[in-house]
């Protein structure tokens, strides 16, 4: 008896509390409804053209010009991979894809290496003029790359870098560095000082600290930087048009398929979709490194 009467009042508040929170949860959801609807609309606005591009690329080439992509819904059996096969048979486009990959991967890798080394130096090493130099780097953030096109063009002409993949890689790295250094320095500076001091006392050299601690701990920022830089350079048209003639990345190759009267849409659609799908895949592959709280548990 005594146990029952003791238990009863203790047990009853719990379910009541739960129904209250459920009601509160519903209210919260309703309050967020307009915002969520807006987000869905915006997302659809962005997705529809992409989706249209995908469907267009799947349509038989002889019918693309006479009907819209939505007709594919009415006649799904019409869908074909023929356009993709034709694209991969076109050696110019395949070369262009390869060129794009070399430039995007190469400049991203080089940028990450240089920016992380510089970021570490700006964050954790003390040398004369460090802060002044960092201000200069920040100042470079506001320099648009367009103003450098002509001078660099003449520089590349005289050094033989014109129309080479290396030339394009170096240009992208140079203009990616201010942002890269800025981003990584700030992230590295947030790594607790105690960890680095502890490693120094443990006998680690600066190189070991950089490769064994800074790089793994800086992974979220490094992954962000890599994704941004990869997307920018993968999608670049202007720089490639300026510094390349025979070296053509995919964007330039697609651009050259445009005609004043009627374009090779059966080549452009799959190539564009491919050019869009690769960065998306890269983003999805790297996004798990955007994990917050990677530093949890190190210092209290």
User: Rule CB under 8 A: which residues touch another protein?
Assistant: 192, 194-195, 197-205, 208, 213, 216-217, 293-300
Q: How far is the CB of 216 from another protein (least distance, A)?
A: 5
CB of 136 to another protein, least distance (A): 23
Q: At its nearest, how many Å lie between another protein and the CB of residue 187?
A: 14
Q: Which is nearer to another protein, 20 or 197 (CB)?
A: 197
DSSP annotation string for 203-232:
T--HHHIIIIIIHHHTHHHHHHHHHHHHHH
Nearer to another protein, 22 or 193 (CB): 193
CB nearer to another protein: give 8 or 207: 207
DSSP structure string for 29-53? HHHHHHHHHHHHHHHHHHHHHHHHH
| Count of other CB atoms within 10 angstroms of residue 145 | 16
Q: Pick the closer one to another protein by CB: 78 or 291.
A: 291
Radius of gyration of the chain (CA): 27
Q: How far apart are the first and last CA of the chain?
A: 48
User: What tokens does 129 get?
Assistant: 């003029």
208 or 279: whose CB is closer to another protein? 208
Shortest separation between residue 200's beta carbon and another protein, angstroms: 5
Measured distance CA(270)–CA(267) in Å, rounded: 6
d(CA 253, CA 271): 9
Give which of 187, 196, 199 is closest to 292, Cα–Cα. Answer: 187
Q: Cβ of residue 24: shortest distance to another protein, in angstroms?
A: 31
Is 110 or 219 the residue whose CB approaches another protein more closely?
Answer: 219
Nearer to another protein, 168 or 217 (CB): 217
At CA 176, angle to CA 235 and CA 119, rounded to 5?
Answer: 145
Largest CA distance in the chain: 99
Minimum distance of another protein from residue 198's CB (angstroms): 4
Between CA 54 and CA 271 the distance in angstroms is 10
**Minimum distance of another protein from residue 180's CB (angstroms):** 22
Asked if 281 and 227 touch (Cβ cutoff 8 Å), the reply is: no
């Amino acid at each position: 008896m005594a146990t029952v009467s003791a238990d009863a009042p203790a047990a009853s508040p719990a379910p009541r509390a739960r129904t209250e929170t459920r009601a509160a949860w519903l209210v919260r959801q309703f309050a967020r409804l307009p915002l969520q609807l807006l987000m869905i609309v915006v997302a659809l606005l962005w997705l529809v053209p992409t989706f249209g591009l995908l469907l267009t690329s799947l349509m038989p080439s002889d019918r693309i010009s006479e009907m819209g992509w939505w007709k594919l819904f009415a006649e799904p059996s019409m869908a074909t991979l023929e356009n993709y096969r034709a694209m991969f048979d076109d050696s110019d486009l395949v070369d262009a894809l390869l060129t794009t990959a070399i430039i995007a991967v190469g400049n991203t890798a080089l940028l990450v290496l240089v920016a992380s080394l510089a970021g570490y130096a700006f964050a954790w090493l003390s040398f004369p003029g460090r802060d002044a130099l960092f201000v200069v780097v920040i100042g470079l953030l506001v320099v648009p790359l367009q103003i450098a096109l002509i001078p660099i063009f003449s520089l590349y002409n005289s050094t033989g870098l014109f129309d080479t993949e290396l030339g394009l890689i170096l240009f992208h790295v140079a203009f990616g560095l201010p942002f890269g250094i800025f981003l990584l320095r700030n992230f590295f500076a947030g790594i607790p000082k105690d960890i680095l001091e502890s490693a120094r006392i443990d006998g680690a050299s600066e190189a070991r600290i950089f490769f064994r601690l800074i790089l793994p701990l800086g992974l979220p920022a490094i992954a962000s930087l890599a994704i941004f830089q990869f997307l920018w350079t993968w999608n670049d048209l202007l720089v490639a048009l300026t510094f390349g003639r025979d070296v053509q990345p995919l964007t330039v190759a697609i651009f050259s398929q445009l005609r004043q009267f009627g374009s090779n849409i059966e080549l452009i659609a799959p190539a564009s979709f491919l050019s869009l799908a690769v960065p998306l895949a890269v983003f999805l592959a790297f996004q798990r490194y955007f994990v917050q709280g990677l530093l949890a548990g190190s210092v209290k």
